[in-house]
Chain A
Amino acid sequence: MIKRIKHSLEYLIDKSSRNKTSEAEENLLSNFALSEYQNAKWDESLMGNSDEVSKNIYDGIQLRIEKKKTINPYLKYMAAASILFLVGLGFFFKPGIAAEKQLSFKTSSIPKSIKLSDGSKIYLAANSSFQYPEKFKGDERKVSLLKGNAFFEVAKDKKHPFIITSGEVKTRVVGTSFHIQMSKSKCEVIVVTGKVNVTSKGQSVDLVPNEEALFQSQKLTKLVADKSYLVNWYSTDITLNQTTLKQVISVLQYKYGVSFHYDNEQVLATPLTVFIKKDATLENVLEQINYITNLKFKVYGEIVKVD
């Protein structure tokens, strides 16, 4: 007989989340956490450059509170204004904000996946940002891709359509899997399984597997998907056999949310074979390519330059 033994810590935390812990148990948990907090030290090699990390987190906060900032100037200048005015404001803003508690998920150098409360799985490419409610409420499951690329495996639930907002584009599904790739100038939705409806600015297209919707210069069009996007970059190691640099770059752009800049278009035809491990960093992969091709790829933030 194999029985999974619940660790005493798990047992205590579960109990605490149900408010069932005794005072002694709750103290044990807090004191344990407090001692870890007090002993925690910044370690550059593990936690990253502190200036960069600080900026990264702060930008994320700004991005999320930006939408609500409209409230801010009022509060700033009218701190002494009448209570009635504040009550009025609160009444005005509350429904939009307080309905669902929103959580955010951001990636830096490595793609990551998360599971939502309905069982849907999101594979977020590197340098991407995603927002979702802690628990889905209401008739629709609404999430947003704020930046970068993601692959969605949406849990089937016909009664509660799943809606993803990515910039100006809305993608509506009931249960399926597909990619969304977003950049400043365009947004693409590429379907792997099931049916997907994409709308933007009053335009609408229905997609089936291997089709993609492209939103660019305010126009939504339907295309046949480039097969390199159908590679499972999100969950498996990838081997690209005897392909061209062009194909490799399109996979890398997807997986790591970076863009490539090159002076000479001819390099794109360079033949090569590469192996990309599921959790490899972009630097690892580029090092490998540099070695094979004798080219020089260098990373500048979210831009990769080729010499």
Chain B
Amino acid sequence: MLPKLPMKNPEIFEKTYTDYWQKLNAFSYTMTQDRDLAQNIVQDVFIDLWERKDDLNINAIEPYLFRAVKNQIFKHYQNNRFDKTIMEDKFEDYIIDNFTSIDPDLMDLLYSLLDKLPEKRKEVLLMYKFQDMSIDQIADELGISKQTVKNQISSALKQLREGLKDLAWLAPIIFFKQNF
């Protein structure tokens, strides 16, 4: 049996706070860029923790706090409490940076997005993102200048980003899933 945390114990509560508040606050600030809101989120999450009726497993504490802060951030995002484009830009970056590790179910949709790119742009982006080729290698392979490769990558990413702003790319999955 793993030790449990009785949350109404002030010493344990205080230690939990000391251990995690800063990381959680840095997280809520990164997502909202609003100092007061970010602090309010952390505060509310710890008050909820104090009021929890059941004890938490020691290993479960950080995932619990992370999830609680994440849910609060998402809730404030839905209620327009901060500039939504901050998180949206980050989400676009995340998708583009993690292109290859995203769940295959969603990959289909990303590919359909890729298919909308002009042939040359798509080719360059795939080489760069999926085959991990360097700009020099791509330029050699295709017999074009390095500058052209750079331009193609940046315009492909830009177009991809635009596509991500539109929920249309997710639409087929709703249709698909509802049939199950």
Q: How far is the CB of A34 from chain B (nearest CB, A)?
A: 7
Q: How many A-B residue pairs have CB under 8 A?
A: 154
Partner of B102, one of A28, A40, A104, A108: A28
Chain B contacts with A in 164-179, Cβ cutoff 8 A: 164-167, 169-170, 173, 177
CB pair A61–B50 under 8 Å, yes or no, is yes
Q: Is A12 in the interface zone, CB < 8 Å from B? A: yes
Partner of A108, one of B35, B103, B170: B35
Partner of B8, one of A10, A54, A72: A72
What interface size band does chain A fall in? 35 or more
State the CA gap A7–B6 with chains docked (Å): 41
Assuming the contacts A10-B84, A64-B47, asked whether A71 and B8 have C-beta atoms less than 8 A apart, the reply is: yes
CB pair B51–A97 under 8 Å, yes or no, is yes
Count residues of chain B with CB under 8 A from any CB of chain A.
59
CB pair B170–A12 under 8 Å, yes or no, is yes
State the CA gap A56–B98 with chains docked (Å): 37
CB pair B169–A8 under 8 Å, yes or no, is yes
The residue on A at minimum CB distance from B37 is: A112
Contacts of B6 in A (CB 8 A): 79
Q: Is B10 in the interface zone, CB < 8 Å from A? A: yes
Q: Is A224 in the interface zone, CB < 8 Å from B? A: no
Assuming the contacts A6-B167, A24-B106, A72-B8, asked whether A103 and B84 have C-beta atoms less than 8 A apart, the reply is: no
State the CA gap A273–B47 with chains docked (Å): 45
State the CA gap A194–B66 with chains docked (Å): 44
CB pair B70–A5 under 8 Å, yes or no, is no
Contacts of B27 in A (CB 8 A): 36-37, 40
Assuming the contacts A71-B8, A76-B9, asked whether A53 and B39 have C-beta atoms less than 8 A apart, the reply is: yes
Q: Which of A43-51, A149-157, A236-244 contacts B (4 or more CB under 8 A)?
A: A43-51
CB pair A27–B66 under 8 Å, yes or no, is no
CB pair B103–A24 under 8 Å, yes or no, is yes
Q: Is A106 in the interface zone, CB < 8 Å from B? A: yes
Chain A contacts with B in 131-189, Cβ cutoff 8 A: none
Task: Give chain B's interface secondary structure class.
Answer: helix
State the CA gap A27–B170 with chains docked (Å): 15
Contacts of A61 in B (CB 8 A): 17, 43, 46-47, 50
CB pair B39–A65 under 8 Å, yes or no, is no
Contacts of A70 in B (CB 8 A): none
CB pair B106–A25 under 8 Å, yes or no, is yes
Q: How far is the CB of B30 from chain A (nearest CB, A)?
A: 5
State the CA gap A112–B130 with chains docked (Å): 46
Q: Is B112 in the interface zone, CB < 8 Å from A? A: no
CB pair A48–B35 under 8 Å, yes or no, is yes
CB pair B44–A42 under 8 Å, yes or no, is no
Q: How far is the CB of B159 from chain A (nearest CB, A)?
A: 15
Q: How far is the CB of A42 from chain B (nearest CB, A)?
A: 5
Give the interface centre of B39, B46, B51, B73 by most chain A CB atoms within 10 Å. B39
Q: Which of A14-22, A214-222, A253-261 contacts B (4 or more CB under 8 A)?
A: A14-22
The residue on A at minimum CB distance from B65 is: A37
* Residues of A participating in the B interface, judged by any CB pair closer than 8 Å: 5-14, 16-17, 22, 24-25, 27-37, 39-43, 46-48, 50, 53-54, 56-58, 60-61, 64-65, 68, 71-72, 75-76, 79, 97, 103-108, 110, 112, 114-115
